[in-house]
């Protein structure tokens, strides 16, 4: 056997030592590495999908906040926590957009429009400018449910429609205990029925 193997190895070594041989050997190594990489990266998963992965319904709840967003201590923080709580119970996606720059209804409007283009099923607004923008636009988007978090003077009853607003706008009083739970309940009621 060594009579066959030894001459074959010597011939291979002479071929690799030549310039052309190095190119061929290098190309072969690169090609093999590419094949191995493709198999590893693109190979199919073995086994079932991760059972901890959440499967979401095609339903979105979106939050429009002031410039500080959902940072702890802001008016939007308990609202965001309530939205996340509703998301856990209903398997719906939640997201938020802070209004950057001037805090006015005029500046909040493009941010609100971005949420409407994302096809949010429920839009929650926190902050005077954001609430004003929602109240001005809600009547033009009757298929979307809007929830505004405002001071107690704007609602006759918490979780109800405020006088002079569109029927698809629910007002939540920002003061008092349990804002997180009230938001979660209201969003659950406002979401489309399960598919």
91 and 155 share a domain?
yes
CA Rg value for the chain = 30
Provide the whole-model pTM: 0.67
Is residue 49 assigned to a domain?
Answer: no
User: Quick one: residue 149, left, alpha or beta (phi over 0 = left, psi -120 to 50 = alpha)?
Assistant: beta
Claim to verify: residue 150 and residue 73 sit in the same structural domain:
yes
Number of folded domains that form the chain: 2
Domain span including residue 163? 60-190
Tens-digit pLDDT string for the chain (195 aa): 566 667 766 666 676 677 776 777 677 777 777 777 776 677 665 666 666 666 767 788 899 999 999 999 888 999 999 999 988 888 888 999 999 999 999 999 999 999 999 889 999 999 999 999 999 999 899 899 999 998 766 555 556 666 667 788 888 887 767 888 888 888 888 777 654
For residue 149, what is the domain's CATH number? 3.40.50.2300
Would residue 179 count as lying in a domain? yes
Task: Give the model's pLDDT for residue 45.
Answer: 58
Do 122 and 80 sit in the same domain of this protein? yes
136 and 66 in a common domain? yes
């Amino acid at each position: 056997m060594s009579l066959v193997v030894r001459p074959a190895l010597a011939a291979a070594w002479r071929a690799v030592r030549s310039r052309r041989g190095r190119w061929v050997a290098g190309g072969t190594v690169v090609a093999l590495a590419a094949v191995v990489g493709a198999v590893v990266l693109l190979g199919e998963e073995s086994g079932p999908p991760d059972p901890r992965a959440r499967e979401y319904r095609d339903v979105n709840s979106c939050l429009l906040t002031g410039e500080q967003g959902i940072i702890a201590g802001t008016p939007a923080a308990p609202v965001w926590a309530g939205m996340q709580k509703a998301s856990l119970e209903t398997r719906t996606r939640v997201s938020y957009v802070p209004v950057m720059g001037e805090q006015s209804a005029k500046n909040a409007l493009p941010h609100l429009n971005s949420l409407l283009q994302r096809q949010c099923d429920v839009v929650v607004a926190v902050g005077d400018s954001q609430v004003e923008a929602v109240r001005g636009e809600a009547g033009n988007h009757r298929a979307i449910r809007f929830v505004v978090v405002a001071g107690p003077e704007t609602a006759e009853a918490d979780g109800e429609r405020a006088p002079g607003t569109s029927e698809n706008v629910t007002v939540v009083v920002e003061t008092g205990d349990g804002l997180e739970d009230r938001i979660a309940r209201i969003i659950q009621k406002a979401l489309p029925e399960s598919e």
